[in-house]
Amino acid sequence: MAIQKKPIKKFPGASTLKKVRDQLSDLAFPGGNIALPKDASEVERAKFKLCQLIAKYQREHELTQRALANKLDIDEARISEILHGKIDNFTVDRLMGYTQKLYPHIKIEILAA
């Protein structure tokens, strides 16, 4: 009896990688993370940092989106938006409330530059 070998998966070619990079760089692409623009306001920066803390908690505790959504008592679609940095859909106080559920002793410091 002959042993069948699994086909070796090849790394995607340069044109495929460029296409994927272009898609993920497009702000209208629904599947990628959103990056802050260079001219982001301080409110946008604060919201983004809160989203990053929530994502960090998920990674460190090895939670699925569903488990994290249940822990925060929000829809899984909303947690997906948070984890992808879609900050326009949230206020600072709402994100702070979610973050406080995960990090009860979190503190915010405001500095004048």
Burial track 34-65 (b if 16+ CB lie within 10 A, e otherwise): eeeeeeeeeeeebbbebbebbbebbeeeebee
Asked whether 11 and 20 are in contact (CB, 8 A), the reply is no
Looking at the chain, the whole-number percentage of residues with pLDDT higher than 90 is 53
Mean pLDDT of the residues in the chain: 85
Report the alpha-carbon distance of residue 25 to residue 112 in Å, rounded: 33
Q: What angle do CA 62, 99, 106 make, to 5 degrees?
A: 110
Name the residue with higher pLDDT: 103 or 39.
Answer: 103
Predicted local distance difference test score (pLDDT) of residue 56: 94
Report the alpha-carbon distance of residue 94 to residue 47 in Å, rounded: 9
Query: 102 vs 64, 84, 90, CA distance in Å?
Result: 15, 18, 17
Predicted local distance difference test score (pLDDT) of residue 19: 78
Report the alpha-carbon distance of residue 72 to residue 83 in Å, rounded: 13
pLDDT tens per residue across span 10-44: 777 888 877 777 665 555 555 556 677 788 899 99
Domains of the chain (ranges, CATH numbers): 39-113 (1.10.260.40)
